[in-house]
Homo-oligomer: A and B are copies of this chain.
C-alpha cells in the first residue's frame, strides 16, 4: 500500500500507538462508533472540529402530549445528499464518508450514492480535503482513500459496470489509517502527511 511521504508502516504515523495495540485493536466497535470516539478526542485536544451529521429523517407525524416532550410517531429514513462527516482542521475544510464491509476480497460500491459522489466532486473542486474511510472488518484494517481515487473507481463502475474495488486495489491505492486507543481511526495523521 502507499504511505504518504516516505512513511514505512502505520505505527510510524502515531508514536503513541505501539504495535501491541493491534491486539486490542478495534474489534467489536463499529466504524461509526470508532470515528465518533476519534472526533471527540480531536475536539477534547482542540485539534480539529469535525462532527458526524445527524441521520436524515423525513418527519411525517408529531404528537405533542401535555407536559412532556414532542414525540415523533411517523418518520422515514431519507437518503443522505452529502457525506456523513465534515468540519475544520488547521484552517481547512474536511469532508468524508465512512463505510465498512465484511467482504474479505472486495469493497462493494453499492452503498455509495450518485449524489454523494457529486457532493465529493464539489468539495474537491472548491478546495476541500475529501476522502472515504473504508474498513475491511475481517482484516481489521481501515483505509483512507482520497476522493480523487474513489472517483476513478466510480467512473469505472459507470463506464464498465465494475461494481466493486478489490481489497488488493484498495491496499495499493489507499493509506492504512493508524489505530490508537483514543484516536481509533486516526485519519488526521494521514491528512498531516498528505496536505501539511
Contact = CB atoms under 8 A, between A and B. Distances in A.
Given A54-B55, A70-B77, A49 B90 contact: no
Contacts of A48: 126
Contact of A75 (B43, B49, B57, B81): B57
Given A57-B72, A75-B75, A46 B88 contact: no
B71 A76 contact: yes
Which of A53, A56, A119, A126 has the largest count of B CB atoms less than 10 A from its CB? A126
Interface in A82-116: 82, 86-93, 95
Which of A49, A54, A73, A91 has the largest count of B CB atoms less than 10 A from its CB? A49
A193 to B, nearest CB: 20
A29 interface: no
